[in-house]
Structures are given as structure tokens and as C-alpha cells.
Amino acid sequence: MRKILTAMSGGVDSAVTAGLLRQMGYEPGGATMLLRPGGEQEAADAAAAARRLNLEFHCFQWQPEFERMVIAPFAQVYQQGGTPNPCIFCNKALKFGKFLDAALELGYDGMATGHYARIEQDPETGRFLLKTAKDAAKDQTYMLAGLNQHQLGHTVLPLGDYTKAEVRQQAEAMGLLEQQVKKDSQDICFVPDGDYMGFLCRWGLEPQPGNFIAPDGTVLGPHRGYEGYTIGQRRGLEIAAGRRVYVLSKPRPDVVIGDGDALFTTDVTVTGTNWIPWEQPPERFRASVKLRYTAKPAACTVTVTDGGAQLVFDEPQRAVTPGQAAVFYEEDLVLGSGTIV
């Protein structure tokens, strides 16, 4: 690959990515995706960084696609009782899906992003491998574990071999002063205030009424909407229980609450698996698995099923949440991922 289109957000990581591509001998271009109202400033920041780096620049107006490919499935999982990670939807469908297609149509050989992860090719099998970043605190492989071989094979991730501090040093050397001081985004881009229920209601979701119930089925009182609660939640339950209680499960439209000890389990089922080093994985293998982005990997035995897997952890895991991704690791190698059901 020679010509690479960089997905630029206006921040330091994607801007440095484009600069590093040139140092690596590629011919970089830049592009941003305008996905929602209010994203115009980010697009302007990305365009400014591209001008500073003397890059050809494109702006893709994909608001309808974003609603269809990211927000709609985000809302659907909430309505089904899960707690989704929309960044994973976006990466698979838009950032490494539609964006990659656009890059190839424009004559580029592939794409790059500012994610902290590494891609290598196995010399024996020829398969593209996803590996964790040098900077463990910034590693983003959890968000990329759903990518397929076509996507991995047409992607360059220069920041996988850098720490965040080194990236900021590169930004200073490249004269990217505005990007260097810009804070990293922490929230879901279309819900910057963290009020998911407020967003979903404005988008058209109608909360399903029901009751808080005890594990034995005793009705404890009404809740404000089934979709507004997630497994393990303690704050904001708006019910006087006389002690700390947590959301244990969600048998629609009710929400089971009780003591935190009941949140632990060793058995987890996932579906929609994507395997990276193998076309067909072993029927059973050992792995370390992350059950949410901020979790530490935990040792388990994985038994592959038709379109999914059954996980049995060595130690009980707390608040396993349907809708989240389970990502499988063997040391620094990402084996694959699936969705917790």
C-alpha cells in the first residue's frame, strides 16, 4: 500500500497519524466524517490539521448513515434490555466499513486511524493479526476486535508503537499546536452529557413501564422505564430499599434488584463471534477475556458454539452485561470477539 486516507477527527492522535504516515513513506490524505449536528467544529479542526500537513482533504456527509448504522442499533439493543457500546458499531460499519470503501473508491490503497493498536501479518498463514498497543493505558483493541480480514488488511495504525506522551511530542515537532492541547474525547459523541435515556427519548424511544422486583418475584414498586437501567447499577434507582441494592437482571419489562453478591457469575454466553487468527477456531481453548472496555482481562475456558461461544471463567465476574463486547486475548494477540447475551 502506498496511498493511505487518514480518518481525521480534529484531535491530536489522528493528526499525528497522518504526519507519521508521511515519515513512513506513505502518501497520506485526510478525511473526516460529519455524522451528526454539532460536529461541524470537529470537521473544521480536522480540515485545519490537514492544511497544516498539506494533505488532500475530504469531508463525508454521512448523517443518515450514522443514524441507520449506529444510533438505530444502539436504541434497539437498549429496547431489548442490553447496554450497547455504540463505538463498536461505528468502527465496524462506518470507520472501517463505509470510510474504507470510500477511500478505495477515491484511489487510495487503504486507510489509517489514530487508534492505539497494532496490525501485523502472520508469515505462515497470511492472516492479518490485531495486537495490543505499546501504551497499555491507551490500548484500544477492545474497540477493534470486530474487524474482519479485509478491514485489517487495508488499515495502518501508526500509533500502536507510541505512547501518548510520545504522540504529543510528535505533534509539537509537526507544528500541530492546536491539536496538541486539545483534550481527548471521553464520552459517546452523540450523547456528550451522558444522558442516554434523554437522548433515546428525544430520538423516539418510548420507555417501557414495569416494576422493580426482588429475586423472589416480590413487587417493590414501579420504575421509570425498563431501558434506563443496566446490570450492576446502584445509583439512580429511585427506590427506598433500606440498604444498598443493585440491578441484577432485566426480565422485560421488570427490573430485578437485590444484594450485590448476586451479581457474580462464572458462565457467560456470547454470540456473533469474529475470529481473527483463524478461519475456524479450535473447539475449546484458554484465553484472557475482557467483558467491558475498562475491565482487566480474566482467565477462562472458551468453548466454541454455532455462531458463538460459551465462556467459563476461573473466577466469578461481576455485573456481566448483555450488549457489551467480550474480547478474547492470548497475551498481546487479539483472538476475537463476540456480543454478550
Closest of 53, 57, 47, 56 to residue 23, by C-alpha: 53
Q: Is the dihedral of CA 255, 236, 231, 274 positive or negative?
A: positive
Annotated active-site residue in 59, 189, 201, 300: 189
Cell numbers representing residue 323 in the block: 450488549
Q: How far apart are CA 339 and CA 272, in angstroms?
A: 6
Annotated active-site residue in 87, 90, 201, 300: 90
Asked if 201 is an active-site residue, the reply is: no
Asked if 90 is an active-site residue, the reply is: yes
> Coil, strand or helix: which one is 130?
strand
Distance of CA 308 to the CA centre of its chain: 19
Report the number of secondary-structure helices (H) and strands (E) in the chain: 11, 17
| 337 Rama class: left (phi>0) / alpha (psi -120 to 50) / beta | beta
Cell numbers representing residue 104 in the block: 478505495
Name the residues annotated as catalytic: 90, 189
